[in-house]
Amino acid sequence: MPRQPRLDIPGLLQHVIVRGIERTEVFLDDKDRQRFVDRFDRLLVETETDCYAWALIPNHFHLLLRCKCVELSRFMRRLLTGYAVYFNLRHNRSGHLFQNRYKSIFCEEESYLLELIRYIHLNPHRPAWCQI
């Protein structure tokens, strides 16, 4: 069965969720987290993308983004591919790092925005069994 097409329109506010393959950890230490954040920061500036919230959990992460000049798919491809190459080289591994493709959920700003920001920021403090 083919995948559903994404709603990928510049200016759209989207909640992005990415999980490690087989729920394995994608951030093993502070060096991994810093490398991801540095790459993420550079891409935000280069692409004029706004980030309203983000959270890194050992086996997944959440981003709340509004891409203005590029499609979300292009932004995420650059972020995920670059980080996966770094991670695999550093940890002497090969193959996929992330499970499937990223999930993106359109955010209706007025009714959902503040609750979503709260959810993303509190996610790392929840027990593992109740994290998405």
Torsional sign, CA 115, 121, 126, 129: positive
List the structure tokens of 9: 């329109």
Rg (CA), the chain: 15
Q: Which CATH number fits domain 13-122: 3.30.70.1290, 2.30.29.30, 3.40.640.10, 3.30.70.1560?
A: 3.30.70.1290
pLDDT of residue 7: 66
pLDDT of residue 126: 66
Q: One digit per residue, pLDDT tens: the chain, 132 residues?
A: 555 666 677 788 999 999 999 999 999 999 999 999 999 999 999 999 999 999 999 999 999 999 998 999 999 999 999 999 999 999 999 999 999 889 998 887 677 888 888 889 888 776 654 555
DSSP alpha helix (H) spans, the chain: 30-47, 72-90, 109-122
Contacts 24+ apart (CB under 8 A), 111-117: 113/13, 113/52, 116/15, 116/53, 116/64, 117/52, 117/53, 117/64
Check if the beta carbon of residue 65 is closer than 8 Å to that of residue 75: yes
Question: Which amino acid is it at 31?
Answer: K
